[in-house]
């Protein structure tokens, strides 16, 4: 068992170092360099798929997002702050003891991702109670008009199952209605680039100080399986972001050219 744990630790470390190098490469070549958006992620609870969550968040960093993490008292107690530091290397990690300092950041963030939202937290929000870091921060983000994303299944399911009690089921449904009316957008995966894009965050990204525009491959180009240097050069002066289809393969020379020309290649 100890050997398995050691292997996992080593693999996690390798993954983290690879992520850091990827981030450095993106920062050098991406038009977002130096002006990444601030994404706050608050872990109200945790689930068995937390490693997948870490992986998805690391992908956001590849596109220039700045991650700031907040942990509820329960998450900090059960998982520890160091686990999140090793997995994500965020700009900062806040805990319950640093609640006041965390709340100061609400006005400067671009979006809040709420993970593993539970019924207790929702009940407090409905009652206007702000006695924990998570309730204070969610309330503050909504008050400031910031985009807030959460998972619908976290509110309607318990351990992956809906309630068989009609009254409790209605409470869960009422809680969901309240959250939506309060401005929280319910999505399948709040951490995904797709969810953040659909929330309108990319609208803020798309036009830079010099009016740079993004461009999606369309028509025959979108159907291509291989994107070459020629394709990238054809977009120079027209865009600083190119959205690829999920199945596209980008040649190494095309990647290098995109970095040299400050064109970000974005895959859904």
User: What pLDDT, on the 0 to 100 scale, is given for residue 268?
Assistant: 62
**Residue 150: pLDDT over 90:** yes
Over residues 165-181, mean pLDDT: 93
**DSSP assignment of the chain:** -HHHHHHHHHHHHHHHHHHHHHHHHHHHHSTTTT---EEEEEESS--TTHHHHHHHHHHHHHTTPEEEEEE-HHHHHHH-HHHHHHHH--SEEE-GGGHHHHHTTGGG-SEEEEES--HHHHHHHHHT---SHHHHHHHHHHHTT--EEEEHHHHH-BTTB--SSHHHHHHHHHHHHHHHHHTEEEES-TTSHHHHHHTTHHHHHHS-TT---EEE--HHHHH-SEE-HHHHHHHTTT-SEEEPPTT-EE-HHHHHHHHHTT-EEE--
Query: Highest mean pLDDT range out of 87-91, 191-195, 234-238?
Result: 87-91
User: What pLDDT, on the 0 to 100 scale, is given for residue 115?
Assistant: 96
**Residue 71: pLDDT over 50:** yes
Q: Sketch out the chain's domains with CATH numbers.
A: 2-204 (3.40.50.1950), 208-266 (no CATH)
**Residue 119: pLDDT over 60:** yes
The model's confidence at residue 218, banded by pLDDT at 50, 70 and 90, is very low
User: What pLDDT, on the 0 to 100 scale, is given for residue 77?
Assistant: 93
**Residue 212: pLDDT over 70:** no
User: What pLDDT, on the 0 to 100 scale, is given for residue 200?
Assistant: 60
Question: Of residues 122 and 159, which shows the higher confidence score?
Answer: 122
Least confident of 120-129, 136-145, 218-227: 218-227
Question: Of residues 266 and 11, which shows the higher confidence score?
Answer: 266
User: What pLDDT, on the 0 to 100 scale, is given for residue 264?
Assistant: 84
Report field, pTM of the whole predicted structure over 0.75 = no
**Residue 151: pLDDT over 90:** yes
Per-residue model confidence as pLDDT tens digits over 99-115: 777 777 777 888 999 99
**Residue 260: pLDDT over 80:** yes
**Residue 121: pLDDT over 80:** yes
User: What pLDDT, on the 0 to 100 scale, is given for residue 75?
Assistant: 94
User: What pLDDT, on the 0 to 100 scale, is given for residue 116?
Assistant: 94
User: What pLDDT, on the 0 to 100 scale, is given for residue 25?
Assistant: 40
């Amino acid at each position: 068992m100890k050997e398995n744990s050691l292997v996992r630790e080593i693999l996690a470390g390798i993954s983290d170092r690879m992520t850091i190098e990827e981030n450095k490469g993106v920062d050098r070549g991406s038009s977002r360099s130096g002006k990444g958006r601030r994404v706050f992620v608050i872990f109200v609870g945790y689930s068995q798929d937390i490693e997948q969550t870490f992986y998805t968040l690391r992908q956001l960093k590849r596109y220039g997002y700045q991650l700031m993490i907040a942990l509820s008292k329960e998450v900090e107690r059960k998982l520890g702050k160091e686990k999140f530091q090793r997995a994500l290397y965020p700009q900062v990690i806040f805990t319950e003891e640093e609640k006041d300092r965390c709340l100061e950041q609400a006005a400067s963030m671009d979006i809040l991702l709420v993970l593993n939202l539970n019924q207790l937290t929702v009940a407090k929000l409905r009652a206007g109670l702000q006695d924990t870091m998570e309730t204070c921060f969610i309330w503050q983000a909504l008050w400031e008009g910031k985009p807030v994303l959460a998972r619908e299944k976290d509110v309607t399911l318990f351990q992956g199952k809906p309630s068989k009690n009609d009254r409790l089921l209605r409470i869960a449904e009422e809680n969901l209605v309240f959250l939506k009316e309060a401005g929280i957008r319910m999505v399948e995966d709040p951490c995904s680039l797709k969810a953040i894009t659909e929330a309108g965050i990319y609208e803020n990204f798309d036009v830079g100080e010099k009016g740079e525009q993004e461009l999606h491959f369309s028509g025959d180009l979108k159907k291509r399986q291989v994107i070459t240097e020629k394709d990238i050069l054809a977009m120079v002066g027209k865009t600083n972001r190119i959205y690829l289809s999920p199945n596209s393969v980008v040649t190494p020379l095309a990647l290098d050219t995109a970095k040299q020309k400050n064109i970000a290649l974005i895959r859904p």
